[in-house]
Amino acid sequence: MIFYKKKSFFVLVFILTIFIVSTESCKKEKIINSSSAKLLFSTDTVFFDTVFTNIASVTKILKVYNHNNGTIVIDNIRLAKAQSSDYRLNINGINSYQAKDIELAEGDSMYIFIEVTVDPMNTLTPFVVEDSILFNFNGNQVDIDLRSWGQDAHYIDGRTDEAIIGNETWTNDKPYLIYNSMLVDSGKTLTIEAGTKIYLHKNSNIYILGTLIINGTKDDPVIIKGDRLDHNYDDLPGQWGRIVFISPSKNNFINHAEIKGGIIGVQVGGIIESTEKPDLHISNSIIQHMNYASLFSIGGKITAANCVIADAGFYNIALLMGGSYEFYHCTSANYWAYSARKEPSVIISNNISTEDAMYISPLEKCYFGNCIIYGTKDDELGLSNDPGVDFNYSFENCIVKSSSLDFSDENIYKNVWKDLNPRFVSPQDFDWQLDTLSQAEDKGDINIVNNYPYLPDIRTDILENDRTINNLPDLGAYERTY
């Protein structure tokens, strides 16, 4: 009898539960039809930074919120220019220029994804591309503006013959966009004039078999970076590949360039090379924000002066498998924040290892004068010497952050300070100038400045400030003037 009563009770509870669930499911959510009901939006204008013609933009997001006490039915969401718009929408997972009868429940929100591709207009200056998203509900219309700046460009597509460059001069009339890489042919010279902007699409590279000459100035540097121009991409690494100087490339010269946002910024040489190694003279330039290395050499020849080489995931400067190198008044600073960095900022080696073999070549010369090598690790200089071949290197009047290296040999380390702090103005903003408390002030040797054998000379710093006023130049690329 007790079992029967319990069984009857559970049956009754089950029936009531089914009834309640069925009743609740039959209830309709309250629909608000009043024109006083409002929707909230994450912004009233969606901005895109400069977008190249024919190249899709980044994706922007518009959020729509319903904070009313009930459901709102949005009769129509559409682009004002409809199918003729340069913009594209994704509404509730559907790609279309419009959507109808969208129910937005009480307390709920929705995402609208927006992209733009600008049609070429053959203009040398940026132009504004505008449209709007119209929301119609309860007799109301809300207008969310869309605004982009489009820019035409010289397009270089690696799938075409135009990507093999002969004797050419690039000017700053409009940007150059490299898609699927390009090559400067052997025996040919590409000259790039001041103010020219070069943008590379994802995984694109610049290969130099001939000669590259970059003639930037302080006020109009040559810019080389990825083709995503929204500000969120300004300092993002890995957006493109690398610039590679390959034998028989020679007589390469870079002055006043800003190279950023790739995997490797500048590479000189490779494992399989002729006896004639590529060479590069680079001055008054900034190379930073690279996934792997900012300046990378395999047995090459590099002279660098007044350069900032910074912010790389592995190495700021990697000089492998020997070669010949001279660095004057250069700043290597590494405060990489995207992952745990395990390697020193600067590595000098007469060998390189691959999965198959180790390659060894003499380090003929590696000189650092009036330089800064600094970062977040305890040891920012690494040395790898195979005793079978030459390993010639020296440092003179430099700050080199190190906890393990012995700098007592004055034949190699002349006035090298391992415990001084250069105190950059703002590492988090990548401002590598020296602040008022910098211990790099007046630590340079004026003889290094006066005896510098190349052009342009280094009596002025990267910003053309005079280094010779008190005959005590500051270390690194910047002379403190305040």
pLDDT digits (tens, 9 = 90+) for 425-435: 999 999 999 99
Find the mean pLDDT for residues 345-362.
93
Residues 6+ apart with CB under 8 A from 144: 41, 43, 44, 45, 46, 62, 132, 133, 135
Strand-pairing partners, residue 426, are 431
Q: How are beta strands 94-96 and 87-91 bridged, if at all?
A: antiparallel
Residue among 296, 291, 288, 268 nearest 207 (CA): 268
Mean pLDDT of the chain: 92
In terms of phi and psi (left: phi > 0; alpha: psi -120 to 50; beta: otherwise), the region of 322 is left
Backbone angles phi, psi at 25, to 5 degrees: -70, -20
- Which burial class, exposed, middle or buried, applies to 240 when counting CB atoms under 10 A from its CB (0-12, 13-18, 19+)? buried
Non-local CB neighbours of 432 within 8 Å, separated by 6+ positions = 308, 310, 331, 333, 424, 425, 476, 477, 478
Average pLDDT over residues 335-356: 94
Quote the pLDDT of residue 386: 93
Q: Is the pLDDT of residue 10 over 50?
A: no
Task: Give the up-direction half-sphere exposure of residue 129: CA atoms within 13 A in the CB hemisphere.
Answer: 27
pLDDT band at 273 (very low <50, low <70, confident <90, very high): low
pLDDT at 125 (0 to 100): 65
Q: Which helix (H) or strand (E) holds 24?
A: helix 2-26
What number of H helices and E strands is found in the chain? 2, 42
Burial of 196 (0-12, 13-18, 19+ CB in 10 A): buried
What is the average pLDDT across 319-337? 97
Here the tokens at position 191 are 């000259």
Kindly tell me the burial class for residue 432, based on how many C-beta atoms sit within 10 Å of its own C-beta (0-12, 13-18, 19 or more). buried
Closest CA to 395 of 420, 419, 414: 414
Predicted pLDDT of residue 162: 87
CA-only gyration radius of the chain, Å? 30
Per-residue pLDDT tens for 428-479? 999 999 999 999 999 999 999 999 999 999 999 999 999 999 999 999 999 9
pLDDT of residue 57: 85
Average pLDDT for 164-176: 96
Burial class (CB in 10 A: 0-12, 13-18, 19+), 158: middle
The rounded distance, in Å, linking the Cα atoms of 279 and 246 is 9
Confidence label for 24 from pLDDT (cuts 50, 70 and 90): very low
Which residues neighbour 323 within 8 Å (Cβ) at sequence distance 6 or greater? 268, 269, 277, 297, 298, 299, 300, 301, 302, 361, 363, 364, 366
How far does CA 395 lie from the centroid of its chain? Answer: 30
What is the rounded CA–CA span in Å between residue 415 and residue 80? 68
Look at residue 5 in the predicted model and tell me its pLDDT. 45
217-240 pLDDT, tens per residue?
999 999 999 998 888 899 999 999
Which helix (DSSP H) or strand (DSSP E) does residue 5 occupy? helix 2-26
C-alpha–C-alpha distance, residues 429 and 126, integer Å: 27
Look at residue 12 in the predicted model and tell me its pLDDT: 46
Q: How confident is the model at residue 27 (pLDDT cuts 50, 70, 90)?
A: very low
**Tokens representing residue 316 in the block:** 């700021």
Read off the pLDDT of residues 379-416 as tens digits, 9 standing for 90 and up: 999 999 999 899 999 999 999 999 999 999 999 999 99
Tokens 């390993």 locate to 391
pLDDT of residue 321: 96
Q: Which is more confidently placed, 354 or 408?
A: 408
Share of residues in the chain with pLDDT > 90 (%): 80
**Predicted confidence (pLDDT) per residue in 73-110, tens digit:** 999 999 999 999 999 999 988 899 999 999 999 999 99
Q: Tokens 């699927």 identify what position?
A: 180
